[in-house]
Amino acid sequence: MRLYRILVGAIVVFTSSANSRFPPVARIENHTHTISQKRAQAIKEAFEFAWYGYQTFAFPNDELHPINNSFSDSRNGWGATAVDALSTAILMESQDVVTTILKYIPSINFNVSKGNQPVSLFETTIRYLGGMLSGVDLLTGPYQHLTESPDDVTALKLQALSLANKMKFAFDTPTGIPANNLNFKGENYDPFQPTGLAVAGTLILEWTRLSDMVHVPDFANLTQHAENYLLLPTYKNATIQPLLGLRGTSIDLSTGDFLDTKGGWGGGDDSYYEYLIKMFVYDPAHFSDYKDEWLQAVKSSATSEISSHPYSRPDLTFLTNWNGQDAILRSSHLACFAGGNWILGGLVLGNQTLIELGQNLTDSCAEIYTATITGIGPETWSWEDEEFFDGDEFEEDRSTKENGFIITDPMYDLRPEVLESLYYAYRATGDKKYQDWSWNTFKAINTTCRTGSGYSAISNVNVTHGGNFSNFQESFMFAETFKYAWLIQAEDSKVHVAKMGEEQTWVFNTEAHPLKVRSQQAQQ
């Protein structure tokens, strides 16, 4: 009886739908599928709204100021939003957007940074290089139909190559560990400024993919050589060391020593750990020692104070910051990628415990969204665990008691990490609650942050309407936030994280640009 009513409901929905791409039989058969398809369509519309706002008022500058239709060039003036949006537009098969971006990219001059701003090796690699390499992989793979000419793809490849060639001098240090803040004009950098763990450890996927694509090993060699210092760390002060598998944050360019033992899964450290397992996905035979390091880091994090439970909500698990010797009970939106990353590791290693640990982190990060007035999670929060709680309930903040945590920085910068982890959780479990949570999150972002010609960061997730708009729309909203919100609903997408037991054919860089894994690469 229930099934019958669902079927009837599905027929009503479909006969009133103008979408003729799907044969009638398939439409009648699957009601849940339709709900997610409609959601995916609505997210694509939101993406295109934001794109056309940018195209009208800011293109080809780096980003739009949506409230006064102005723009800025915080990423060296090469059109960060356009390059970051490419892979998402391809997956959504937004043909006009793809065509516009493909026509633009060959005109970028990566030799010159606008206003001689320093170039961040890390940001440039994950946004620009990653975006172009992904364009090549998608347009020579399942989305060939979106480009009319092979010249488009050749141009992407040449631009990626020219950018990497220009940035290569970053590795010209006594150790080969790259500097991050590059002066393009003089091709130099401050040799005394240490490099961060996430900087040195996040280049390897993009630079290795580039090497494989153009058959020039140097790019892979440079990044893998630098990575060896991270895999076999030495510490300036050897008396204190972080937990097994974990690392400090700052690295001396001339000695390769870690200068501290601070760290965790938050900003500055995050994507070093993320890429250890992603390199294993890229080529399991070649990067198996990276996987071992990753598993060690996860084991240490899951079994120490780094995994912390608020005393009033012991069901929640947050990853803490680590000051070198102790856990600091504070976490961040950026660290919320970890749930999805642990799930990815669980999928490729066939390890159900890892999936459950990742789900616990993901579910807890989803709770910081549902605990606010806007339905959006804050930038940072803190809590007290059993040990720290002094037993005086009356002294406790009401929010700590109700929610388990208190907000310490209430802004929201259009970040993707929670949507990202929800996506991995859905791929691993098939549990529709993750699709619903992701949809609710996307709707909350759309309701609160959409303003003027696009979307803006907001100052306070726990006041009605989000407080003040920053009037700034980050390029990663296009690369990541829209993409993960869409992919979890777009069951039919030709590119996905594979489910348990299936072979992974794509790996997403930290900016959500999908790259072909090594076994899938045809001769190019």
Ligand X SMILES: *[C@@H]1O[C@H](CO)[C@@H](O)[C@H](O)[C@H]1NC(C)=O
Question: Which listed range, 80-88, 355-363, 474-482, 511-519, lies at the site for ligand X (CB under 6 A)?
Answer: 355-363
Q: How far is the CB of 69 from ligand X (least distance, A)?
A: 8
Q: Binder to ligand X among 114, 168, 299, 518 (CB under 6 A)?
A: 299
Least distance CB 114 / ligand X (angstroms): 14
46 lies in the site for ligand X, by CB under 6 A: yes
Span of 98-106, 247-255, 413-421, 466-474 interacting with ligand X by CB under 6 A = 466-474
Residue 421 interacting with ligand X (CB under 6 A)? no
List the structure tokens of 511.
């900016």
DSSP labels, 300-357: HHHHSTTEE--TT-TT--EEPEE-SSSEESEEETGGGHHHHHHHHHHHHHT-HHHHHH
The answer to whether 285 and 264 have CB atoms below 8 angstroms apart is: no
191 phi, psi to nearest 5 deg: -70, -15
Catalytic hit among 363, 417, 420, 511: 417
Nearer Cβ to ligand X (6/190): 6
Question: Could you give phi then psi for residue 355, rounded to 5 degrees?
Answer: -60, -45
Q: Which of 260, 270, 363, 367 is the catalytic position?
A: 270
The residue within the footprint of ligand X, chosen from 234, 468, 519, 524 (CB under 6 A), is 468
What phi and psi, each to the nearest 5 degrees, are found at residue 232? -120, 75
Residue 218 found at the interface with ligand X (CB under 6 A): yes
For residue 63, give both structure tokens: 């980003």
Instruction: Tell which one of 20, 149, 239, 464 touches ligand X (CB under 6 A).
Output: 239
The residue from 399, 408, 493, 521 that contacts ligand X (CB under 6 A) is: 399
Given 62, 63, 73, 123, the catalytic residue: 123
CA distance 63 to 54: 7
Q: Which helix (H) or strand (E) holds 21?
A: none
123 is catalytic: yes
CA distance 410 to 407: 6
Segment interacting with ligand X (CB under 6 A) among 30-38, 148-156, 384-392, 415-423: 30-38
**C-alpha–C-alpha distance, residues 482 and 494, integer Å:** 17
User: Binding marks (x or -) toward ligand X, 91..130, rule CB under 6 A?
Assistant: ------------------x-x-------------------
- Asked if residue 240 binds ligand X (CB under 6 A), the reply is yes
Is 460 near ligand X (CB under 6 A)? yes
Under the binding rule (CB under 6 A), the answer on residue 431 touching ligand X is: no
Token pair in block for residue 299: 């084991």
Interface with ligand X: number of residues (CB under 6 A)? 47
- 417 tagged catalytic: yes
HSE-up (13 A, CA, CB side) for residue 255: 12
User: Which residue, 79 or 140, has its beta carbon nearer to ligand X?
Assistant: 79
Q: Is 396 a catalytic residue?
A: no
Q: Which residue has the tokens 């965790």?
A: 264
H or E element that contains 251: strand 250-251
Strand pairing report for 327-328 and 330-332: unpaired
Cβ 437 vs Cβ 403: under 8 Å:
no
Beta pairing partners, 382: 330, 406
> Residue 60, preceding bond cis, omega within 30 degrees?
yes
∠ CA(476), CA(479), CA(484), 5° rounding? 110
The verdict on whether residue 481 carries a ligand-binding annotation is no
Stretch that binds ligand X, among 148-156, 295-303, 331-339, 415-423 (CB under 6 A): 295-303
Q: Which of 447, 234, 237 minimizes the C-alpha distance to 247?
A: 234
* Site pattern 137..176 for ligand X (x: CB under 6 A): -------------------------x--------------
**Nearest C-alpha neighbor of 425 from the set 412, 438, 442:** 438
User: Active site includes 502?
Assistant: no
Active-site hit among 93, 356, 379, 409: 379
Q: What letter would DSSP give residue 125?
A: I
What residues act catalytically? 123, 270, 379, 417
Which amino acids are annotated as binding site, given as ranges?
510
Binding-site residues from annotation for Ca(2+): 510
Site residues for ligand X per CB under 6 A: 29-30, 32-33, 42, 46, 65, 68, 70, 109, 111, 162, 217-218, 221, 237, 239-240, 298-299, 302, 315, 349, 351, 353-354, 356-357, 360, 371-373, 399, 402-403, 407, 443, 446, 450, 459-460, 462-463, 467-468, 471, 491
